[in-house]
Amino acid sequence: MNKDIKKILIGEEELKAKVAELGAKITEDYKGKDLLIVCVLKGAVIFASDLIREINLPLDIDFMAISSYGNNTKSSGVVRILKDLNMGIEDKHVLIVEDIIDSGLTLAYLVENLRTRRPASVEICTILDKKERRTAKLDIKYTGFVVPDEFVVGYGLDYAEKYRNLPYIAVLKEEVYKG
Ligand code: IMP
Ligand code: MG
């Protein structure tokens, strides 16, 4: 185990099984539909790359990078698009793939923004949901795990851009934050 880790919340095998289960559901739900996976950079990269290999359908993938104004611990709901999609989404069934939903403000903005581009549908798939911190109204179609209000890293999620490559979801030791 990495020396900065206090405890593992969700292990590799558990992640793998859940991603397979989500992929199977998505395969059922999107049969015959023009599916576009929108991966939100950077956190969702690991999850999205595992998930698309569990979806047994033809699909497109595109990337978006967004940053929310505000401080590091609270998002304000005002979102800046750092990298927009390369492709148009008109008449496509868009599935946004996210690492974690906290307040939900970032995603609420993103969903509204994408809806103005006239897709056939927009839904959300997140591997983690910090449900107790939700302030925005958001319908999440696919959720991997509900997690407690603790700062987590790994499987794409970072602390100061590090730990994204850990193969599990973990809680950091306090001394790592305090430096
Ligand atoms: P929201 O707008 O409050 O839902 O912000 C969600 C974003 O905050 C996620 O996409 C992450 O980038 C970040 N975030 C929230 N909680 C955590 C965490 O526990 N670990 C790492 N990143 C987090
Ligand atoms: Mg993120």
Write out the DSSP string of 87-100.
S--TT-EEEEEEEE
81 vs 64: CA distance, rounded Å: 8
Measured in Å, residue 100 CA sits from the centre of ligand 2 at 7
- Helix axis angle, 12-29 relative to 45-52, nearest 10°? 60
**Of 1-5, 53-57, 65-69, where does mean pLDDT reach its minimum?**
65-69
Measured in Å, residue 113 CA sits from the centre of ligand 1 at 19
Residue 40 has pLDDT above 80, yes or no: yes
Query: Measured from the CB, is residue 152 less than 6 Å from ligand 1?
Result: yes
- What does the longest C-alpha to C-alpha distance in the chain come to? 51
Q: Which token pair is 79?
A: 């979102």
Which has more pLDDT, 148 or 1? 148
Write out pLDDT tens, residues 127-167: 999 999 999 999 999 999 999 999 999 999 999 999 999 99
Write out pLDDT tens, residues 58-87: 999 999 999 876 555 566 677 889 999 999
Domain boundaries, given as residue ranges, for the chain: 2-178
Measured in Å, residue 31 CA sits from the centre of ligand 1 at 31
Q: Whose structure tokens read 């290999």?
A: 53
Handedness of CA 159, 165, 170, 172 (dihedral sign): negative
Question: pTM to 2 decimals?
Answer: 0.94
State how far the alpha carbon of 55 is from the alpha carbons of 5, 29, 60, 156, in Å. 32, 10, 11, 20
Residue among 114, 122, 57 at smallest CA distance from 88? 114
Active-site choice (102, 129, 149, 158)? 102
Residue among 96, 140, 138, 93 at smallest CA distance from 119? 93
**Residues measured by CB to lie within 5 Å of ligand 2, the ion:** 43
Write out pLDDT tens, residues 96-107: 999 999 999 999
- Active-site annotation holds for 99: no
54 vs 3: CA distance, rounded Å: 32
Pick the CATH number of 2-178 from 1.10.1240.10, 3.40.50.2020, 2.60.40.10, 3.40.50.360: 3.40.50.2020
SS3 of residue 49 by DSSP: helix
Query: Measured from the CB, is residue 154 less than 6 Å from ligand 1?
Result: no
Provide the pLDDT confidence category of residue 7 given band limits of 50, 70 and 90. Answer: very high
Query: Amino acid identity, residue 103?
Result: S
43 vs 164: CA distance, rounded Å: 7
